[in-house]
Structure 1
Amino acid sequence: MTDLSLLHPRTVDEAIALQREIARRVVCEDANGPVRRVAGVDVGFPGGGTRGRAAVAVLDFPSLASSETAVAEDEVDFPYVPGLLSFRELPVVLNALERLSAPPDLLLVDGQGRAHPRRCGIACHLGVLTDLPSIGVAKSRLVGTHDPVPQERGAWVPLRDGEEIIGAVLRTRVGVHPVYVSIGHRVSLERAVDWVMACTTRYRLPETTRAAHALASGTARKRETGGEGLV
């Protein structure tokens, strides 16, 4: 059951306090059963406005064949504040998740998990809200430092904030920039890296992320009608 008390702060200070509470609830160990349905989650804002478009793309695992999709659109009511974007985006994400025939077994969220200043990126927030296993897969670094990543596919180095390991910097493809993987909820960091690699084929980003981004941005519809495809 979704705990909506963690979703609608009235002020920035209240949002920060909620993030700290959510971070305390994150389970950083593997606590999931069989994974047969893995979902990508992404949010776009067409035209840069205040109307969010959330997409959930469910793939069968391990085939990564498309199984089910859901899209929801709504006005957002929380202001744009760096570090607090999950409060702006998650209400419409939850609307999209509710449109699925059944919950996914694992969520790969386009964004940070514990690789966040308060250890509460969108993947943590969504995982705790829904109690679904979740992983943050981000295209850029929000916080932390790391050593150079070896060039071979699947190589990774720890992302650290001080002495704490907050994520993994993962090379999913030779010759491309790495991605930033971090725990969302109910998944260990090492297993999170394994899941991201298992969902990644010949592109930099996992197929879950690519499918969800196409839906959230509208490029999936362009591809279906002969327009621009995924890159």
Structure 2
Amino acid sequence: MKQVIPFPWDVSPAEATRLQEKLRERVVVAGGPAPEDLRLVAGLDVSFCRRRGLLFGAVVILRLPDLIVVEEGAAVLPPTFPYVPGLLAFREGPVLLSALRKIASVPDLLVCDGQGIAHPRGVGIASHLGVLLGTPAIGVAKSRLVGDYEMPPPAKGAASPLFLNGKVVGSVVRTRAGVKPVFVSPGHLVGVDAATRLVLSLCTRFRLPEPVRAAHNLSRRLFQRYASE
């Protein structure tokens, strides 16, 4: 995949905040592909090895409807940006873009382990990548970063809105009955309702959608390989 918008990563935290505010103006929260129209979906995840000081970026392309892995891309880079809450995209973005450049496929959707617009400035990692690549993107997080919500019912498929300053910025979704929900938010070129439907369509018997789970497993394999050396 190729980046369609240039973007500087080697910046200070103060400049990163200003860049996020500018990038937010490009985010489109509307539309999105229907689940039945998806053919290729990319899952993205990053692991960090503190001992080695390395980030492991993983991208896995799954073919629908059978959810078969058709391509993988990975990158290993040292972080060039500190860990700052709300600015995680500046730490993880470069390694994910490096992994994406190794992918020949053009996915219909990016599903990131992280946030979309459910973010203090409305621009999580899924929004960053969606805008920079010009591709529909969704963030799926295991915990809340911002917002208020009511816990959804325990049945699989149940969802409740996630509010930030009175605006719906995502949904809290049960992907398995009786299991902790995940926090879904649009990244780019997808609306809130569409993001919820798409994530549920990508879940099987696990809490995380299959593309994200596959990318997580790949990033952990990289982590274990380097951590054992």
Q: In structure 1, what is the Cα distance between the partners aligned to 2:64 and 2:106?
A: 14
- The SS at the match of 2:60 is strand
Question: By how many angstroms is 1:35 displaced?
Answer: 2.2
Deviation at 1:49, TM superposition (A): 4.5
Structure 1: how far apart are the matches of 2:8 and 2:65?
A: 32
> Which residue of 1 is the match for residue 97 of structure 2?
94
Of 163, 184, 187 in structure 1, the residue corresponding to residue 187 of structure 2 is: 184
Q: 2:26 matched to which residue of 1?
A: 25
Equivalent pairs, count: 222
Choose 95-104 or 204-213, whichever is displaced more. 95-104
* TM norm structure 1: 0.90
Task: Give the structure 1 partner of residue 160 of structure 2.
Answer: 157
- Map residues 1-231 of structure 1 onto 2, 5 A cutoff: 2=3, 5-32=6-33, 34-47=37-50, 49-218=52-221
Q: Per-residue displacement from partner, 1:130-175 (whole Å, max 9, x unpaired)? A: 1111000000000011012111111101000121111100011111
SS of structure 1 residue aligned to 2:44: strand
> Where in structure 1 do 4 or more consecutive aligned residues deviate above 4 Å?
31-34, 219-222
Kindly state the Cα deviation for residue 50 of structure 1 after the two structures are TM-superposed: 3.0
CA contact (8 A) 1:40 1:211 kept: yes
Residues 27/211 of structure 1: CA separation in 2 closer, same or farther (3 Å cut)? same
CA 1:27/1:136 → structure 2, altered by over 3 Å: closer, same or farther? same
Offset at 1:45? 1.0
**Which residues of structure 1 form unaligned runs of 5+?**
223-231
Q: Matched residue of 1:158: which SS?
A: strand
> 2:52 & 2:21 partners in 1: Cα distance?
29
The one-letter code sitting in structure 2 at the alignment partner of 1:135 is I
83-92 vs 26-35, greater mean Cα deviation:
26-35
Q: Which amino acid aligns with 1:106?
A: L
* Cα deviation, residue 7, structure 1: 3.6
Q: Distance in 1 between the 2:86 and 2:177 partners?
A: 31
Q: CA RMSD in A?
A: 1.9
Instruction: Name the amino acid aligned to 2:38.
Output: V
